[in-house]
Amino acid sequence: MPRPRPHSRIPLNTFAVPFGLAGSAEAWSSAAPVLHLPAFLPQVSWVVAAVAWLAMLTAHVVRGLRVRGHDRLVDQLRHPSQGPLAALVPATAMLLGVDLSRVWPTGGTVLVLLGVAVAAGFAGWLLATWFEGRLALESVHGGYLLPTVAAALVGSVATHEVGVTWLSWACFGVGVFFWGVMTGLLLLRLAFRPELPGPLVPTMAILVAPPSVATVSLFALTDDAVTLPVQAVAGLGVLLLLVQLALLPRYVRLSFSLGFWSFVFPAAAVATAAVEWLRILDVPGGWIPTVVVLGLLTALVAVVGARSIGLAVHHLLGQAEDELQAADDEDAEPGPVTGSTRQVA
């Protein structure tokens, strides 16, 4: 299998790494009061997520400055498979902004509002490109829920956490509307078109994220009230979780790739919603299922993280071999008589 060109753009699915780490950090923050954990424990996870987000942004910018003119960012954003995944950048910024606001309220609020603005602008632009009528149903995958659904619902929670509550219900409305629209589109694609390519199969896990994030958002917006809407959303979330459990045999047959980070944020969202239910219902012995949920989530992050590091090392070694081969090819010149190549000393 040919390796990617040394100076091509980095795939946008790499932003699923900090997004998953931030989701995991949020689950730990939600569980901290239930388990009476010291404040620094969840903060460690937040620092790791922030470093990963900044490192990934830097890597994309640096690589983007090195690519040739024909490999434009706008073409990557318009790509039917990669484009929607760019919404992971502002969505992660919103989550990080909530944590930052705990120590620096002004900075955290600015970061959240910046994330909401960028997410809204990108969603509007992306929808406009889809309205050109060139999008095939076969191109749709779980990542299509990110620009309008995930980013909006995360924005609903984030704006509430930083005190910009006038914007929270607006974000929630956008997220719920497009949740219905995009989920219907995705179900049509999955049921009536050929199965997703292997690298995109993990994106099906995103289906459990909207009801989980919507649950957290509703609890935040209604002061932890167990209303009929939050009960209805919870019921839908349970059904979609059962679907994911039924898909496990298919997931375990997949070859590992960075696409596996698509499992992490949905798992973290489910964990956060479960912890919120346990806290609000004040379930006796609720700390036990909370520990189990956090343990499973942490194990998932550890396994995917370790495999990703191994994959990155393998890729870097392969890239080094490509660069050495390219240098050898540049040093070679045609022989004076036969036209064969010889190495220049």
CB 53 within 8 A of CB 18: yes
Residue 7 confidence (pLDDT): 61
Residue 327 confidence (pLDDT): 46
| Count helices and strands in the chain by DSSP H and E runs | 11, 2
> Regarding beta strands 332-334 and 341-343, do their DSSP bridges make them parallel or antiparallel, or are they unpaired?
antiparallel
Nearest to 77 by CA among 68, 66, 88: 88
Domains, in order of start, for the chain: 12-311 (1.50.10.150)
Q: Which residues contact 318 (CB under 8 A, 6 or more apart)?
A: 3
The H or E element containing residue 332 is: strand 332-334
Strands (E), 155-245: none
For CA atoms 95, 49, 55, 303, give the dihedral sign: negative
The H or E element containing residue 343 is: strand 341-343
Residue 335 confidence (pLDDT): 42
Query: For residue 190, what are the CA distances in angstroms to 118, 137, 212?
Result: 29, 10, 21
Q: What is the CA radius of gyration of the chain?
A: 22
CB 180 within 8 A of CB 153: no
- Between CA 81 and CA 97 the distance in angstroms is 28
Residue 344 confidence (pLDDT): 31
The two three-digit tokens of residue 22, written as one number: 């931030």
Nearest to 12 by CA among 76, 93, 78, 95: 76
Nearest to 263 by CA among 12, 15, 20, 18: 20
Residue 339 confidence (pLDDT): 39
3-class SS at 333? Answer: strand
Residue 3 confidence (pLDDT): 47
Query: Which residue ranges in the chain fall short of pLDDT 50?
Result: 1-5, 320, 323-324, 326-328, 330-345
The two three-digit tokens of residue 298, written as one number: 């942490």
Residue 73 confidence (pLDDT): 85
CB 123 within 8 A of CB 148: yes
- Between CA 89 and CA 63 the distance in angstroms is 16
3-class SS at 338? Answer: coil
| pLDDT tens digits, 186-239 | 999 999 999 999 889 999 999 999 999 999 999 999 999 999 999 999 999 999
